[in-house]
Amino acid sequence: MPMRPSPKLRPTAWDALVVLCVAALAIGLAVFQWRGGTQESLTAVVSVDGEEIDRVSLERAAGKRTYQAGAYTLTVEYAAGSARVLSSDCPTQDCVHTGIITRSGQSIVCLPARIIIRLEGGAAKDGGVDAVLG
Ligand SMILES: [Zn+2]
């Protein structure tokens, strides 16, 4: 056991409290980094033909939303911290094949429907804990 040069004998409950606080702080920080945020929360911005039609906070799962863009219909699924095109009736299916986007700056583009789903906010820099790669 490490010896502490303490003038007074501290109760062990105090030590336990300090350990708990440090642990809680560490976990909180890890979750914070994992969520990818030192700034505002991650937001999905949906635009058709350059015009913003929807803005979804990805702080928590927002479920599925359907967008009509031109002759096509896209279903986008918003989870906590990520977005993906679940289904689309466009001919190329590139948007569906793009898969999940999780970082600010990433985007899903559907050329036939001229729809762009772009992530903004959250942590823009690398260095966070991120195991999902495209
Ligand atoms: Zn598409």
Give the distance (Å) from ligand 1 centre to CA of residue 41. 26
> Tokens in use for 126?
């690398």
CB-based neighbours (< 5 A) of ligand 1, an ion:
88, 90, 95, 110
| Ligand 1 geometric centre to CA of 53 (Å) | 17
Task: Supply the mean pLDDT for the chain.
Answer: 85
What per-residue confidence (pLDDT) applies to 64? 98
Rounded to the nearest whole angstrom, what is the distance from the C-alpha of residue 94 to the centroid of ligand 1? 5
User: What pLDDT was estimated at residue 31?
Assistant: 73
pTM recorded for the entire structure: 0.63
Q: Which of 30-34, 62-66, 97-101, 103-107 has the lowest mean pLDDT?
A: 30-34
Residue type, 115: I
Q: Give residue 131's pLDDT.
A: 52
Give pLDDT tens digits for 7-62: 666 678 888 888 888 888 888 877 766 655 445 789 999 999 999 999 999 999 99
**From ligand 1's centre to the CA of 120, what distance in Å?**
21
User: What mean pLDDT do residues 100-105 have?
Assistant: 96
What order of strands is seen across the sheet that includes strand 107-110?
Answer: 51-57, 43-48, 115-120, 107-110
Q: SS3 for 41-85, per residue?
A: CCEEEEEECCEEEEEEECCCCCEEEEEEECCEEEEEEEECCEEEE
Q: What is the rounded distance in angstroms from the CA atom of residue 110 to the CA atom of residue 39? A: 28
CA distance 63 to 122: 19
Structure-token pair, residue 130: 């991120």
